[in-house]
Amino acid sequence: MSYRNLMRAAAALTVVLVLTAAAAQPVLAQSSRAGSAFANDDDAFLALREAVRRDDATTTAALADRLPNYTIGSYIDYYRLKVRLRDASPNDVRAFLTRHDRSAIGDRMRNDWLLELGRTRNWALFDEQYPQFVLNDDHQLKCYALLSATLKGQRVADDARTLLTSTVSYGDACSTLVVTLLQSGQFSVSDVWAQVRLAAEAGNTVVVRRLVLLAEAPETLVMRALDKPADVLSRGVGSGRTAHEAFIIALGRSARNNPADAANALLLAGEQLTPDERALGWAQIALQAAIKLAPDAMVYWRRAQGASLSQEGYQWQVRSALRAGDWKFVRSAIEAMPVALRGDTTWVYWYARALRIEGRTQDAQLHFQSISAIPGFYGQLALEELGQKIVLPPRAAPVTPEELAPMAQNPGFKRAIKFFEMNLRFEGYREWNWELRRMNERQHLAAAEYARQVNLLDRMVNTSDRTQVAVDFSQRFPSPYADIMRANAAPLGLDVAWVYGLIRQESRFIMNARSNVGASGLMQIMPATASFVARKIGMDSFTPSQVNDIPVNIRLGANYLRMVLADLDGSQALATAAYNAGPGRPRAWRATLPRSVEGAIFAESIPFAETRGYVKNVLSNATYYAALFDNQPQSLKSRLGWVAPKGFVASELP
């Protein structure tokens, strides 16, 4: 690539996309007028937070002046600086970091400042501050750190390839990193095309547009492959690298609608591609066929052997093989995964299963043992493969008053509780979790017990979940409102452990929980579902405002759960999926099965990532709850059962 074209591409990559903000109500700018606009300081604080979100410096200053003695003064300090961070001097920021050293809000400010330092290419300050960023959870900053190292002549290509496995958080930092790696000779054009394919697979057209310039490719051809793949496929492969890459991208996009049509296009034009390009084409088709649970997915995966896959590709290759019962392919596909992915408990478990089926019993046992002590779905299944059932570990010694007292005085916890009272859960979680970083296991148990006392059951669960040696499952798996639960579940014949397992996953016992799609309450019931169930069970006086009332929420949720269970032949695996994704989808998913499969295979091959995790977590939870309630060994495998193929039948359930 010529230097001129490279610079032109780099300039294009750093263009900031400006999103048009929605029209907002005018906020009073003068301090005296702002003071009369709010009933209390909390309302003014919420308005201040919103002004910062809108980057409104004038209103921010006025509202901050109104709150000189606010309960959470560090956040007033933070908002004052954040809104003018681009113009602030390093001394201003350093002074803030000194005042709020070792605090959650101090680390948040360092995160913000590092992003600004990366944007302005102030590498001296960036390199000084980046090692002090405690959480180190910002993808953009990781790209900026590699960019800084590249500019100093360090070899970071392998680290960059490991980092750039998703284009979701790509942004300016990662785009510029790719530019610089290409310019320095650490990345080849093939690396750039690999990133383009990854972005196309994710449907990230913004990143595709940014990157095609680096490959000196006509943007119109590649974008046509994304937007009108049938047109590109109908014209054939064409000549040159860009045409071939566009054809491969079009295969993947076309397969989203019809994998068979994409496969036919590749068969017709395949001889014009190199063997490596054909494998990439089949991989594009195979992934979409696998996600659609198409019966030919395994045919396409076999043709794709040797292709470089995305993280999703590696995993769906195994899921397809599990559904097909091809254990040899399961083993080889897991062995082909990147090391970090292969070490996930999911794939350790299935790899061990494949080894055992091949007769490598001792190797399989070692793999099962390596994850059997890890709480959760695959740890429980591994334990059963070792011939054991799920029992609760011995309960840690109760928290003493002396251990509990410091938790009530913890400033971070006090800030968290204040945020929870204002329903600012993001800020509350940040403050609470920051304090946990500095605690040992006994202190985690004490913090969890304190959360129980102040009725923050979700914090109790999440905090107690962190311990590995000293454990208390009464904290991890609470069962509040037991009388209401029994009164509603018992007449319906529902497994109470299963209902609690679902609530733990749905809302973590946050009474006023509300999802981003409008589901409400402990059992996260959608408004339409609530009205439907209320009519079915004769709650003539039901109004939508009642959905967060605990007895009403549990009654509606339990009845709906009983409906979907009956609708899906009594399978908890199918009914749990239905509760999350609607009853029509699990019916459609089971209809694609080539034969009866274990419930664990059905759960692992659910196409929706959210529902896949949901089913595994709910049934794992339910197994622990059953052990807690019955004080008897339990079997997750029995709870999962088997899922048999059955014709799709429409359901009246929403």
Q: Where are the alpha helices (DSSP H) in 184-255?
A: 189-201, 205-212, 219-227, 229-234, 241-255
Please, is 547 exposed, middle or buried when counting C-beta atoms within 10 Å of its C-beta (0-12, 13-18, 19+)?
buried
Beta-bridged to residue 514, according to DSSP, are: 520
Please state, in angstroms and rounded to a whole number, the distance separating the CA atoms of residues 651 and 654: 8
- C-alpha separations of 179 from 147, 183, 308, 378, 453 in Å: 10, 6, 22, 41, 53
Beta-bridged to residue 642, according to DSSP, are: 598
Please state, in angstroms and rounded to a whole number, the distance separating the CA atoms of residues 224 and 631: 61
How long is the chain? 654
Per DSSP bridges, beta strands 642-643 and 597-598 are: antiparallel
SS3 514: strand
C-alpha neighbours within 13 Å on the C-beta side of residue 252: 28
Residues 6+ apart with CB under 8 A from 593: 323, 602, 643, 644, 645
- Please provide residue 37's backbone torsions phi and psi, each rounded to the nearest 5 degrees: -90, -5
Query: Which long-range contacts (C-beta less than 8 Å, at least 24 apart) are formed by 20-28?
Result: 21/54, 24/50, 24/54, 27/51, 27/56, 27/59, 27/63, 28/59, 28/62
Give yes or no for a contact between 559 and 551, defined as CB atoms under 8 angstroms apart.
no
Give yes or no for a contact between 224 and 235, defined as CB atoms under 8 angstroms apart.
no
Please state, in angstroms and rounded to a whole number, the distance separating the CA atoms of residues 130 and 605: 40
SS3 604: helix
- 427, 431, 435, 506: which one is catalytic? 506
- Residue 506 appears among annotated catalytic residues: yes
Please state, in angstroms and rounded to a whole number, the distance separating the CA atoms of residues 546 and 485: 17
Element (H, E) at 181: helix 171-183
And the tokens for 41?
């300081």
And the tokens for 305?
């052997």
Most distant CA pair in the chain, distance: 79
And the tokens for 130?
């980046």
Beta-bridged to residue 643, according to DSSP, are: 597
Torsion angle, alpha carbons of 271, 273, 275, 277, to 10: -150
- C-alpha separations of 49 from 42, 44, 95, 437 in Å: 11, 9, 22, 26
- DSSP for 232-252 reads HHHT---SSHHHHHHHHHHHH
Give yes or no for a contact between 61 and 67, defined as CB atoms under 8 angstroms apart.
no
Query: Which long-range contacts (C-beta less than 8 Å, at least 24 apart) are formed by 81-90?
Result: 81/109, 82/52, 82/109, 82/112, 83/51, 83/52, 83/55, 83/56, 83/57, 84/57, 85/112, 85/113, 85/116, 86/116, 90/125
Active site residues: 506
